[in-house]
């Protein structure tokens, strides 16, 4: 749980908090043109009383934001969400993981994990309408293999992988899984018709991302402090290729669109992030790692960012684009930094 750990605070350049945004930016997806979509308002299962009160106090509800790396400003726009296909209800929207897909006609499609109600998760599909800055809800997905969803990685406009980071909504079993480091979790693939488990035996499968050529899929296993590299087969099965230790409670994974290197945000001191999850006012450190990749294998790690909790608490996701580093959190501020270090 990291009681013995100490880190030195450092930034890759000037950092500032992003303006006009609610607390919380759990996950994001950046298209190759720099447009970035951010999920906000995560409400996981079994929220503490403190967290529920904190969310009400700060008006934290399900929202989606747009950030444009080309504008070079620490500012976002909230996107309006329209449509209710399949019974989607915006008032019950609690977004978590997100993945993007650019179809053959150039449409930007977003797949978003939604914790709509206790014990029932969905994946929602949206189309971005650039003229009106809207997200149009197209479709929702639900299956019994969706136990406790975390993240989603599209492979086409109607197929995707997703991770289960728990076995269900029960708080007791989640505590057992975490404290005993039980490898109970799965990755599931939906091919457009059927759902099937393609990987199991992971200790809290969290973020998932795919290489730019589609050959490799990376999974963050939070409790075991590792990145699992898998090779994607023609039938979309995943075969373990490498297990890479990062010595941190890793969260989400972003693949660099040019280099295939990975950006990982995580929680380096375990007991502090768990206190923050219970009481959001408690400050916890944030960390961003860059993992160098060659031929699908991770070769080395560089720490790009570390903050004790003064500027940002509970980092969950990070990406670099146009020499800017954007960092999201569970239920805290979002930060943008200049990157003045070699990548």
Residue 185 annotated as binding site: no
Exposure pattern of 246-277 as b/e (b: 16+ CB <10 Å)?
Answer: bebbbbbbbbbeeebbbbbbbbbbbebbeebb
Q: State yes or no: 338 annotated in a binding site.
A: no
Candidate list 27, 96, 137, 267, residue with the active-site label = 96
The percent of residues above 90 in pLDDT, for the chain, comes to 78
Task: Check the annotation: does 150 bind a ligand.
Answer: yes
Tokens of 11: 């930034």
**pTM for the complete prediction?**
0.95
Is 281 annotated as a binding-site member?
Answer: no
The pLDDT score that the predictor gives to residue 72 is 77
Q: What element of type H or E holds 63?
A: strand 63-68
Q: Report which of 319, 339, 318, 341 is spatially closest to residue 329, judged by C-alpha positions.
A: 318
Contact of 331 with 51, CB cutoff 8 Å: yes
Is 27 an active-site residue? no
229-272 per-position pLDDT tens digit: 999 999 999 999 999 999 999 999 999 999 999 999 999 998 99
Q: Give tens-digit pLDDT for 45-104.
A: 667 888 889 889 999 999 999 999 998 788 999 999 999 888 899 999 999 999 999 999
């Amino acid at each position: 749980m990291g009681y013995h750990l100490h880190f030195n605070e450092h930034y890759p350049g000037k950092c500032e908090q992003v303006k006009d945004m609610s607390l919380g930016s759990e996950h994001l997806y950046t298209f190759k043109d720099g447009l970035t979509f951010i999920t906000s308002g995560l409400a996981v299962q079994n929220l503490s009383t403190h967290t529920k009160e904190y969310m009400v106090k700060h008006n934290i509800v399900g929202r989606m934001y747009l950030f444009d790396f080309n504008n070079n400003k620490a500012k976002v726009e909230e996107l309006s969400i329209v449509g209710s296909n399949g019974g989607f209800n915006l008032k019950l929207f609690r977004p978590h993981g997100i993945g993007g897909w650019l179809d053959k006609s150039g449409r930007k499609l977003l797949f978003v994990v939604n914790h709509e109600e206790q014990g029932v998760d969905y994946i929602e599909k949206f189309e971005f309408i650039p003229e009106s800055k809207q997200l149009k809800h197209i479709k929702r997905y639900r299956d019994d293999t969706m136990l406790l969803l975390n993240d989603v990685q599209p492979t086409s406009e109607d197929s995707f992988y997703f991770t289960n980071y728990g076995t269900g909504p029960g708080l007791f079993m989640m505590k057992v899984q975490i404290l005993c480091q039980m490898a109970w979790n799965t990755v599931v693939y939906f091919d457009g018709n059927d759902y099937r488990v393609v990987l199991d035996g992971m200790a809290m499968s969290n973020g998932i991302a795919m290489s730019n050529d589609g050959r490799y899929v990376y999974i963050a296993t939070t409790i075991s402090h590792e990145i699992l590299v898998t090779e994607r087969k023609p039938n979309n099965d995943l075969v373990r290729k490498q297990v890479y230790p990062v010595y941190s409670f890793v969260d989400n994974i972003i693949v660099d669109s040019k280099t295939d290197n990975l950006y990982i945000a995580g929680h380096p001191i375990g007991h502090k992030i768990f206190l923050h999850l219970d009481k959001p006012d408690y400050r916890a450190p944030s960390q961003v790692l860059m993992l160098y990749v060659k031929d699908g294998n991770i070769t080395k790690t560089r720490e790009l960012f570390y903050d004790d909790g003064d500027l940002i608490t509970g980092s969950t996701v990070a990406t670099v684009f146009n020499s800017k580093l954007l960092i999201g959190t569970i239920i805290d501020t979002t930060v943008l930094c200049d990157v003045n270090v070699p990548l």
